[in-house]
């Protein structure tokens, strides 16, 4: 059997536009005509597939991008959404009913944490947050009410690497679903190939890569994706987080260069983290030997795409972290901004921003302090030059 290669899978996709264009035509319609009135009734009775009704349901442009994302993750099917949060919330709400429980990694994106901790209890869905790198903790937290184990492949912002193979084994033994957010590591990890049931993405980040739009994706079995679009009970159909087709068409084009971008992000991050580590700074990056899950990552990753574009510098306190970020922005290294996966370097201090939804006690226990600076390295052509600039910023702070 040919080895699974997500980049080749995307490469092999060939779509023709309406007039033979090399890019598919963009749907400019919110609704679709029917030649026979009876056909419309059949759609509402779930009797027809592959027919377009209304763009919140499905539209051709989103279908193209969804197919490409299914190829990226090697899943039977996929769907695209108007944000990463929509992909997460719709997936969870589709799987869970009132009274169910979720066992989630404690180090996840702050918005997801807040959804689990503050929003879902309104519907009597409760979450236990655990250190998912400790498999015994995961097993202990599962009860007869648990429906989902949830984690990020490389977690935001602690950059912990999840043992997807082991977590999927636990999920299968318990008859529950493993839902994985692969936002930080498209191409690098293929969680569905390692046993995950559902893979979600914030395409806002690396997949689109241009910092120009917000979008998400859900990958899974055909049965699961179809259930999300059921006109009577589907979370995507009824909550309505549809991605606009103009954006969708752009993301599909940007996806074509994802393999080149991921390699460059990873090469740059590896180069700069090694240098900064040698200089004595406190660096977290899964590509470094000293990272606690470095070996684990090597066993699971698609090696040619590297260890990803994110690393963390621990500056000790928030004042130093802020001064570093301002200095880096003033040196044109990148932007002091949330988000990640852009062509240009982005940095922020997650303790006071994207992870501030996580209670202070919890942040402390996982080492998420206010002195951490999360850096999403850009596609810089001359990374030695970037290192020199960053090094000057760091040296100024300690002088």
Asked whether the beta carbons of 330 and 293 are under 8 A apart, the reply is: no
Cα–Cα distance, 5 to 3 (Å, whole number): 6
What is the radius of gyration, based on Cα positions, of the chain? 21
Cβ-based nearer residue to ligand PLP, 204 or 302: 204
Determine which residue in the list 27, 204, 245, 254 makes contact with ligand PLP, applying CB under 6 A.
204
Span of 83-91, 282-290, 294-302, 380-388 interacting with ligand PLP by CB under 6 A: 83-91
Q: Which of 116, 83, 48 is nearest to 240 (CA)?
A: 83
Q: Is 156 in the site for ligand PLP (CB under 6 A)?
A: yes
**Which of 250, 267, 264, 156 minimizes the C-alpha distance to 201?**
156
In 3D space, the residue among 284, 311, 245 whose CA is nearest the CA of residue 82 turns out to be: 245
How many amino acids of this chain bind ligand PLP (CB under 6 A)?
A: 14
Among the listed ranges 82-90, 262-270, 277-285, 304-312, the one in contact with ligand PLP (CB under 6 A) is 82-90
Least distance (Å) between residue 389 CB and ligand PLP: 26
DSSP 8-class letter at 304 = G
Which residue among 94, 162, 202, 245 contacts ligand PLP (CB under 6 A)? Answer: 202
Name the nearest CA neighbour of 271 among 257, 287, 289.
287
What is d(CA 34, CA 40) in angstroms, rounded to the nearest whole number? 7
Interface residue with ligand PLP among 7, 78, 85, 161 (CB under 6 A) is 85
Q: In the window 222-281, what residues touch ligand PLP (CB under 6 A)?
A: none
Q: CB–CB of 110/88 below 8 Å?
A: no
197 binds ligand PLP (CB under 6 A): no
- 53 or 338: whose CB is closer to ligand PLP? 338
- Residue 140 CA: distances (Å) to CA of 103, 174, 280: 10, 12, 39
Q: In terms of CB distance, is 85 or 120 closer to ligand PLP?
A: 85
Among 6, 216, 220, 309, binds ligand PLP (CB under 6 A): 216
Q: Which residue lies nearest ligand PLP, judged by its C-beta?
A: 84
Q: Which stretch binds ligand PLP (CB under 6 A): 80-88, 137-145, 169-177, 244-252?
A: 80-88
Q: Verify binding: residue 380, ligand PLP, rule CB under 6 A.
A: no
Binding mask 101-140 for ligand PLP (x = CB under 6 A): --------x-x-----------------------------
Which range in 79-87, 185-193, 238-246, 322-330 contacts ligand PLP by CB under 6 A?
Answer: 79-87
Contact set for ligand PLP, span 313-372 (CB under 6 A): 354
Nearer to ligand PLP among residue 127 and residue 387 (C-beta) = 127
Nearer to ligand PLP, 66 or 183 (CB): 183
Which span sits near ligand PLP by CB under 6 A: 77-85, 247-255, 258-266, 322-330?
77-85
For ligand PLP, which stretch binds (CB under 6 A), given 81-89, 122-130, 305-313, 381-389? 81-89
The SS3 call for residue 231 is coil
Residues in a beta bridge with 280: none
Q: Which is nearer to ligand PLP, 184 or 387 (CB)?
A: 184
Do residues 15 and 24 make contact, with C-beta atoms less than 8 angstroms apart?
A: yes
Residue spans of alpha helices (H) in the chain? 6-11, 37-44, 60-73, 84-95, 110-114, 135-141, 164-174, 222-228, 235-239, 245-255, 258-278, 294-300, 318-330, 360-365, 383-398
Contacts of 2 (CB under 8 A, 6+ apart): none
Contact pick of 6, 60, 84, 309 for ligand PLP (by CB under 6 A): 84
Contact 217, 207 (CB under 8 A): yes
Contacts of 146 (CB under 8 A, 6+ apart): 100, 101, 102, 103, 174, 176
- The 171-190 site mask, x for binding ligand PLP (CB under 6 A), equals ----------x-x-------
- The sign of the torsion formed by the CA atoms of 393, 263, 25, 86 equals negative
Q: Is 85 or 272 the residue whose CB approaches ligand PLP more closely?
A: 85
**Cβ proximity to ligand PLP, 13 vs 246, nearer residue:** 246
Cβ closer to ligand PLP: 183 or 383? 183
Residues with Cβ within 8 Å of residue 119, at least 6 apart in sequence: none
Nearest-10 crossing angle of helices 245-255, 60-73: 30
Instruction: Give the binding site for ligand PLP (CB under 6 A).
Output: 83-85, 109, 111, 152, 156, 181, 183, 202, 204, 214, 216, 354
């Amino acid at each position: 059997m040919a080895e699974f290669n997500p980049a080749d899978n995307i490469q092999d996709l060939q779509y023709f536009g309406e007039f033979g264009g090399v890019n598919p035509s963009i749907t400019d319609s919110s609704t679709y005509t029917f030649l026979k009135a009876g056909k419309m009734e059949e759609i509402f009775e779930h009797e027809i597939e592959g027919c377009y009704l209304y763009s919140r349901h499905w539209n051709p442009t989103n279908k193209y991008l969804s197919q490409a994302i299914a190829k990226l993750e090697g899943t039977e099917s996929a769907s695209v959404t108007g944000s990463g949060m929509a992909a997460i919330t719709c997936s969870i709400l589709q799987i869970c009913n009132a009274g169910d429980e979720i066992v989630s990694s404690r180090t996840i994106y702050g918005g997801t944490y807040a959804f689990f901790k503050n929003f879902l209890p309104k519907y009597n869905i409760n979450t236990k947050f655990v250190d998912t790198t400790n498999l015994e903790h995961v097993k202990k937290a599962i009860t007869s009410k648990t429906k989902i184990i949830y984690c990020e492949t490389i977690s935001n912002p602690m950059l912990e690497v999840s043992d997807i193979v082991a977590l999927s084994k636990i999920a299968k033994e318990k008859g529950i679903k493993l839902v994985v957010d692969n936002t930080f590591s498209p191409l690098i990890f293929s969680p569905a190939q390692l046993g995950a049931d559902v893979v979600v993405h914030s395409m806002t980040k690396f997949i689109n890569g241009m910092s120009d739009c917000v979008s998400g994706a859900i990958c899974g079995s055909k049965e699961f994706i179809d259930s999300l679009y059921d006109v009577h009970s589907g979370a995507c159909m009824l909550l309505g987080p549809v991605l606009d087709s103009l954006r969708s068409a752009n993301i599909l084009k940007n996806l074509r260069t994802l393999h080149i971008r991921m390699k460059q992000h990873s090469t740059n991050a590896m180069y700069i983290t090694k240098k900064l580590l040698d200089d004595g700074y406190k660096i977290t990056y899964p590509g470094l030997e000293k990272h606690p899950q470095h070996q684990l990552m090597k066993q699971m990753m698609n090696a040619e795409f590297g260890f990803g574009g994110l690393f963390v510098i621990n500056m000790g306190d928030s004042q130093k972290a802020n001064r570093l970020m301002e200095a880096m922005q003033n040196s044109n290294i990148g932007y002091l901004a949330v988000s990640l996966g852009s062509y240009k370097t982005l940095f922020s201090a997650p303790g006071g921003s994207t992870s501030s939804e996580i209670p202070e006690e919890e942040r402390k226990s996982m080492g998420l302090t206010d002195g951490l600076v999360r850096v999403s390295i850009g596609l810089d052509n001359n990374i030695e030059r970037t290192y020199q600039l960053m090094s000057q910023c760091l040296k100024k702070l300690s002088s």
